[in-house]
Amino acid sequence: MTAPTGTLQTYTVNTNREDLQNFIYNISPTDCPLLAHLSETEASSTKHEWSTDSLAAAASNSQIEGDDYAASTITPPSRVFNYTQISGKAISVSGTQRAMDTAGMDDMLDYALVKRGKTLKRDVEFNLIGVNQGYFAGAATKPRLLRAWDSWISTNVNMNNVTTTVQGATAAATTAGANAGAATAGRTDASSVRDLSETYVKDVLEKVFTEGGDPSLMMVGPYNKQVVSGFTGRAQGRQAVSVDTINAAAEIYVSDFGEIRVVASRFMRERDCHIIDPEYASVAYLRRMQEQDLAKTGDSDRKFITVEYTLAMLNEGAHGSVFDIATQS
């Protein structure tokens, strides 16, 4: 059936208003698990320093009655440092755009500031644990770089067999050896990877325990989060199970050395599995995230969001990592 002759239809009318919903849908993730678990502290210089120490190994100790005690050598604490890194996002919105009636927001500049702030927080998380880099003190034409997580971990590691440079010395590495780069470089990745296994995780947990660490967090990429959920050991899904629920995820891994919360990270390297004691790492801020007005040079409003921060690895021996693991099946 056709419409009567002369009926005005929408197909020929160009003055009808658009049906644009007054909401903006954004599914981009903003959760940052490392930042959520680490404490925060203040830095007072671009070179942030702290001290680390450890006890001597336990040994047989017996003394003769009435004898004088001989003083043993005292090892002073070690001084450790990292450089701060500056991250920032600039926003520029024309005066015309700010005057427009825009769907889903009152002001495009305010909306852009909130959006860039969330993006900047993701960048901070990525720079702390998602890049494989050592520190750089900075130069007139090169930015300062913080020493990221991968570059620190060398004591408690399990990795694929490679020959690598360890703190400046060439050595044949094994799955039980260290594979960290020098402080000014990232770690040396193996040329091949292997599937993450519960055996590797147990190996690292044992090493961390022996060193004195008490880790409570395991961070893995999304693919290897599913691998951990398939471990046959004492993995618990902390979830109320009903007849309508299929529980296939491991949120808590119960090891011989304590319970470890398993968290998936979108921002770390998929080829790493990090065992973390949050008490012995923190994020130090020289400048917390702040908004600044930029000079007005034309018919636009310009702002800049900046943050200056570093990773304080308070004691590297409290953590561990399984390196060189497969990123897909």
pLDDT band at 9 (very low <50, low <70, confident <90, very high): low
pLDDT score at 171: 40
68 within domain boundaries: no
100 within domain boundaries: yes
For residue 143, is pLDDT > 50? yes
pLDDT score at 278: 96
**304: Cα within 13 Å, side-chain hemisphere:** 10
22 within domain boundaries: no
What tokens were used for 195? 């599937």
pLDDT score at 212: 92
Whose structure tokens read 């690598």?
164
Percent above pLDDT 70 for the chain: 78
45 within domain boundaries: yes
| CA atoms of 213 and 207, how far apart (whole Å) | 9
Q: What is the model's pTM?
A: 0.81
What tokens were used for 137? 């003190």
pLDDT score at 90: 87
Return the closest-CA partner of residue 277 out of 257, 302, 247: 257
pLDDT band at 311 (very low <50, low <70, confident <90, very high): very high
pLDDT score at 328: 87
DSSP one-letter code for 325: B
pLDDT score at 10: 60
144 within domain boundaries: yes
210 within domain boundaries: yes
pLDDT band at 236 (very low <50, low <70, confident <90, very high): low
Out of 141-150, 157-166, 263-272, which region has the weakest mean confidence (pLDDT)?
157-166
Domain that holds residue 125: 33-51+78-322
For residue 81, is pLDDT > 70? yes
Out of 3-17, 115-129, 293-307, 313-327, which region has the weakest mean confidence (pLDDT)?
3-17
- Total structural domains within the chain: 1
201 within domain boundaries: yes
Q: What is the pLDDT of residues 187-197, one digit of tens each?
A: 888 888 999 99
Beta bridge partners of 215: none
Distances (CA, A) of 176 to 159, 170, 302, 322: 7, 16, 52, 10
184 within domain boundaries: yes
pLDDT score at 176: 34
- Across 45-64, average pLDDT: 86
